[in-house]
């Protein structure tokens, strides 16, 4: 019984963390110089990464959602997910959103970022070891 209560408390705590507003990008990070953009395209059977949140959001708190699309019966390994803000130097955002990462994607009920254009790259790997990444620009007005 005690074990069930502890599990329920841990699950409730994890849900509360996702429901709290996450500062996705800080003002100081937004002021960093832009990173040089390099584009690599290759055919891959690695998991797809799709931004579900509209690319343009207001500067109030917004829902941040990304869907992972595995192929061939594989599953995305949540521990492999890395989220990077493409600045110089790059800013690893993964620890801030860890509570919202699952095999299905990333879901934060409430996130904040300063006004501006924010290039973000998400790296994923599936259960077959195939990896992929996707880059998108989140625009905050």
Distance CA 104, CA 121 (A): 17
Give residue 45's pLDDT.
Answer: 80
**pLDDT (mean) for 120-132:** 96
Give residue 69's pLDDT.
Answer: 96
Q: Two tokens at 71?
A: 């192929």
Residue position matching structure tokens 């994890």:
14
Q: Two tokens at 135?
A: 């880059």
Coil, helix or strand at residue 15: helix
- Residue-wise pLDDT for 94-122, tens only, equals 999 999 999 999 999 999 999 999 999 99
Residue 17 has pLDDT above 60, yes or no: no
Domains annotated on the chain, with CATH: 2-140 (2.60.40.1220)
Give residue 55's pLDDT.
Answer: 85
Residue 24 has pLDDT above 90, yes or no: yes
Percentage with pLDDT > 70 across the chain: 81
Give residue 38's pLDDT.
Answer: 64
Give residue 18's pLDDT.
Answer: 52
Residue 52 has pLDDT above 70, yes or no: yes
Distance CA 66, CA 96 (A): 15
Residue 51 has pLDDT above 60, yes or no: yes
**pLDDT (mean) for 3-19:** 41
Cα 112 to the chain's mean position, in Å? 13
Residues 81/94, Cβ–Cβ less than 8 Å: yes
Its pTM stands at 0.82
- Residue-wise pLDDT for 61-74, tens only, equals 999 999 999 998 99
> HSE of 52 in the Cβ direction (CA atoms, 13 Å)?
15
């Amino acid at each position: 019984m005690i074990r069930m209560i502890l599990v329920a408390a841990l699950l409730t705590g994890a849900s509360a963390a996702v429901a709290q507003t996450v500062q996705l990008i800080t003002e100081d990070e937004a002021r960093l110089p832009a990173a040089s953009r390099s584009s690599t395209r290759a055919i891959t059977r690695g998991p797809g990464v799709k931004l579900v949140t509209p690319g343009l959001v207001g500067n109030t708190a917004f829902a941040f959602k990304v869907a992972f699309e595995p192929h061939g019966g594989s599953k995305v390994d949540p521990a492999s997910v890395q989220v990077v803000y493409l600045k110089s130097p790059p800013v690893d955002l993964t620890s801030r959103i860890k509570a919202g990462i699952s095999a299905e994607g990333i879901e934060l009920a409430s996130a904040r970022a300063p006004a501006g254009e924010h290039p973000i790259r998400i790296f994923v790997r599936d259960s077959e070891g195939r990896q992929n990444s996707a880059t998108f620009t989140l625009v905050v007005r």
